[in-house]
């Protein structure tokens, strides 16, 4: 499980709930089903109007996948696989193919396969162009997921304001009828929709968007590292040089080989 995301969400909701308990005499007043329906239901409904049906369902899968499942492929494991590929290169086509099939990162595995069947047919410039295009395509797709979450984050506060406006209308009607005793409670309920909108946007959607954006950039760096390593292997550069060139894409703390 991705404990970092889970801890972040739990900590944020804990802070909000603790603040409510310290601020309100009756904290249960915040449990307003009408505000939840308007903010959450409205956001989900408008998402289908903005994006294709399949893309919205994909976002739901992405959200829970990143919470439940954490990427277990380390930089050390990728470097180890790159070294193995470089060493297998001089041992023959069968050894290289076997080393490629054992690579843990799917893009490294795919790139090794591409190198195997394209070596005699295309130039190194064409090989690089093909691999870079695949990396760019994946990066664009991942970045779009983050952009969609940022777009959706605009809607909960808007629906919250809509709910507050509805509550104010109902409040003014009550005042017009002379029901002044319910003004305080009606006013607090009117503002609950805005609270829900801010919580959904700033605690749920925007953090996930930032996480996916950073993940896309980090993944792109790894894919660039893999492309450079594959090109050096294609040119039959020494294994140590291939390893050190690949490590140049990583920060010093990431370069240690901790593959198990």
Q: Percent of the chain, pLDDT > 70?
A: 90
pLDDT of residue 259: 41
> pTM of the predicted model, to two decimals?
0.81
Distant-in-sequence, close-in-space partners of 104: CB < 8 Å, separation ≥ 6 = 73, 77, 78, 81
**Residue with more model confidence, 151 or 67:** 151
Contact 172/149 with Cβ under 8 angstroms? Answer: no
Per residue in 43-68, pLDDT (tens digit) is 999 999 988 888 888 888 877 777 67
Q: How far apart are CA 5 and CA 228, in angstroms?
A: 31
How many other CB atoms are there within 10 angstroms of residue 149's CB atom? 22
Q: Tokens in use for 38?
A: 């308007």
Show the domain range for 110: 1-260
Q: How confident is the model at residue 84 (pLDDT cuts 50, 70, 90)?
A: very high
pLDDT of residue 178: 66
Per residue in 215-229, pLDDT (tens digit) is 999 999 999 999 999
Contact 198/54 with Cβ under 8 angstroms? Answer: no
Tally of domains in the chain: 1
What's the whole-number mean pLDDT along residues 187-205? 86
């Amino acid at each position: 499980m991705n404990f970092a995301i889970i801890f972040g969400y739990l900590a944020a909701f804990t802070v909000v709930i603790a603040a409510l308990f310290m601020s309100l005499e009756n904290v249960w007043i915040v449990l307003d089903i009408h505000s939840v329906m308007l903010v959450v239901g409205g956001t989900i409904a408008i998402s289908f109007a903005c994006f294709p049906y399949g893309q919205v369902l994909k976002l739901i899968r992405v959200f829970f996948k990143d919470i439940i499942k954490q990427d277990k492929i380390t930089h050390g494991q990728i470097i180890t696989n790159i070294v193995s590929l470089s060493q297998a290169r001089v041992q023959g086509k069968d050894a290289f193919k076997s080393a490629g099939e054992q690579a843990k990162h799917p893009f490294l595995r795919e790139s090794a396969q591409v190198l195997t069947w394209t070596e005699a047919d295309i130039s190194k410039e064409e090989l690089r162009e093909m691999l870079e295009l695949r990396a760019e395509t994946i990066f664009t797709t991942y970045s779009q997921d983050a952009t969609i979450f940022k777009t959706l984050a605009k809607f909960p506060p808007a629906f919250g304001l809509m709910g507050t406006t509805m509550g104010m209308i109902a409040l003014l009607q009550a005042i017009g009828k002379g029901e002044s005793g319910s003004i305080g409670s009606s006013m607090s309920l009117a503002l609950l929709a805005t609270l829900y909108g801010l919580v959904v946007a700033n605690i749920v959607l925007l953090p996930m968007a930032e996480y996916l954006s950073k993940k896309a950039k980090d993944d792109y760096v790894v894919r660039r590292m893999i492309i450079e390593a594959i090109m050096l292997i294609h040119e039959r550069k020494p294994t140590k040089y291939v390893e050190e060139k690949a490590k140049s894409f990583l920060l010093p703390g990431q370069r240690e080989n901790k593959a198990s």
